[in-house]
Chain A
Amino acid sequence: MIDLDGRDVPAVAGQTVAAALLAAGILVFRRTARGRPRGVFCGMGVCFDCLVTIDNIPDQRACMTLVRPGMRVSTGAAQAPLREETHARA
């Protein structure tokens, strides 16, 4: 199980976050700065469309990250060009 926006979503060891979300019927992974929905596109780490926040680290590629037990994933965050948590981390 992983925690997706506060609810339990089944996940299998060896699965990517993207695969777990799609298997659970979730297609919208985030919104762009203009509010448009995005999900998996290239599936191989090139396009950065499937960005989600994983364990409080923003902008992780769901297609390149393997699930871990207890992982917390949040979708829906806007990928704004300037964002406070990004700067706080840097």
Chain B
Amino acid sequence: MPALETVDVAVVGAGPAGLAAALAAAECGLRVALLDERSLPGGQYLLPGHAHGGALTESERLGGDLLRRLETGQVDWRPGVTVWNVEAGLTLGLFADGRATTLAAGAIVLASGAREQVAPFPGWTLPGVMTAGAAQLLAKRHGVLPGRRVLVAGSGPLLLAVAAKLSALGATVVAVLEASRPAQWLSHAPAARGQGGRFAEGWRYLSDLRKARVAYRFGSAVVAAQGAERVESVTVAPLDRAGRPLREGRSVVAVDALCVSFGFTPNVELAQLAGAWMVFDPLRGGWAPQVDENLESTASGLFVAGETGGVGGAGLALLTGRVAGLAAARRLGALSQDDLERAKAGLAGRRKRELRFAGMLNAVCAPPGGLSEIITDETIVCRCEEVTAGELRAAVREAAGIRTLDALKVWTRIGQGPCQGRTCGPIAGRLIAAEAGCSPEAAGTFAVRPPARPLPLGALAALEAAGDAA
């Protein structure tokens, strides 16, 4: 189908990486379209209201500069656009305002960010149970609290940031439960060199929480949520060293909201659609596209920036975004090789350093293996299609040959709902690994087919008609 519209560079995602990429390519005189599903630029990191928490981090300051430069109009900023397809010929399928269109680009920078990882437990589908990122967005952008009595549980620094924010807005944070133990962090101490800013930020949250008398507990987790129409209480248990919940020392805590989070995993579906080669790396947060030194994937002309290339934080996102934008400009002949090399100087070293630190976070924050014991057979794994852990385990144990996510999808309907396996994919991968004694890598990913997001059939039909007329 011929594309309805053409630009030099299309950038998918307007977080720190996408902003940096779009503005860098525009600096080279290229026509750049910056696309995002949201109505505001900045992604999850540069949310409006992020300045309320006191001093800005360096990345927030740099990102704020990019947001101001976006207002000058040098980039064609298009909010509210869903990208549902990327063809290897660098044509994007877009959906906005009820209409599907296509956009051809000379180069694409994929900066679609990352999503939170969660670990299921009985009751995790109850209203009032949400990701820490959801609570953060509601609190920071809208000043809305997820509840009055909130428990925050999972792993990683986001728990601290969210708990501090909710507490500052007047919620009673019952406790922050961190599944990992201090010893796990200490074993990675060398990776923490040169990351003083991050520790200062964490320390600030911790002292805020101490002032608000919020308990911060290592080595414990939520093992179940109870309630009829919404979460009313949660069961909390201490964990052993493998992350297995202990029988002794459990308690039931009354709450009206529970925020959960176990680190992040890259949003890679569009790279998969373009045919980019994927690699599994727990230090990068799971599956991520393989890239060369110019951040180009194996799909020619498709560059990858920010968390999509491996969960590494906002500083790395700003850096890789700029380099990907300039590399895209180089591909289109709008920048000399020398200028690109100059811009890349120091990237390799910094990228390695940031990824080493992020690798520690990604390794320590992932759901601990032992925690899978709390996933009873009745627990829903695929929230969309309501497929239970018991159905999945039976498929792995009894149906010969089911060792991959794709086979499991056909057999049980897991991943066939509107989220297309984005939430349950990593969970089911770990479940297959546990049942079949293989690695999550061997379980693979769900195959991705267009449309990567649900869209009305009528919109697709109208697009076909427009293509025929062209």
Contacts and interface: CB of A to CB of B under 8 A. Distances in A.
A33 B385 CA distance: 9
B134 A38 contact: no
Interface string B120-131: 000001111111
A89 B458 CA distance: 7
Contacts of B454: 48, 59
B133 interface: yes
Contacts, number: 102
A23 B142 contact: yes
A43 B384 contact: no
Contacts of A44: 44, 115, 133-134, 137
B119 to A, nearest CB: 14
Give the interface size class of chain A.
Answer: 20 to 34
Interface string B30-59: 000000011100001000000000000000
Contacts of B44: 44
A19 B152 CA distance: 19
Interface string B346-386: 00000000000000000000000000000000000001101
A72 to B, nearest CB: 16
A78 interface: no
Interface in B310-343: none
A18 interface: yes
A32 B230 contact: no
Given A47-B383, A89-B456, A38 B127 contact: yes
Interface in B414-433: 417-419, 422-423
A42 B132 CA distance: 8
Given A19-B144, A23-B142, A49 B383 contact: yes
A18 B145 CA distance: 12
Contacts of A64: 37-38
Nearest to A64: B37
Interface in A28-80: 28-29, 32-34, 36-49, 51, 59, 63-64, 66
Most buried by A among B142, B146, B456: B142
A9 interface: no
B27 interface: no
B133 A19 contact: no
B289 to A, nearest CB: 18
A32 to B, nearest CB: 6
B206 interface: no
B274 interface: no
A48 B424 CA distance: 12
A37 B267 CA distance: 27
Interface string A4-32: 00000000100110110011000111001
Contacts of B37: 45, 64
B422 A47 contact: yes
A90 interface: yes
Contact of B457 (A33, A48, A90): A90
A47 B423 contact: yes
A43 B135 contact: yes
A90 B129 CA distance: 33
B125 A23 contact: no
Contacts of B71: none
Contacts of A49: 125, 383
A18 B44 CA distance: 16
A37 B229 contact: yes
Contacts of A36: 125, 386
20 contacts: A16-B142, A19-B138, A28-B127, A37-B230, A38-B127, A42-B131, A42-B134, A43-B137, A44-B137, A46-B419, A46-B423, A47-B422, A48-B384, A48-B419, A49-B383, A59-B418, A59-B454, A66-B39, A89-B457, A90-B457
| List of 7 A-B pairs having minimum Cβ-Cβ separation, nearest first | A43-B134, A39-B127, A90-B457, A19-B142, A27-B127, A48-B418, A23-B144
Interface of A: 12, 15-16, 18-19, 22-23, 27-29, 32-34, 36-49, 51, 59, 63-64, 66, 89-90
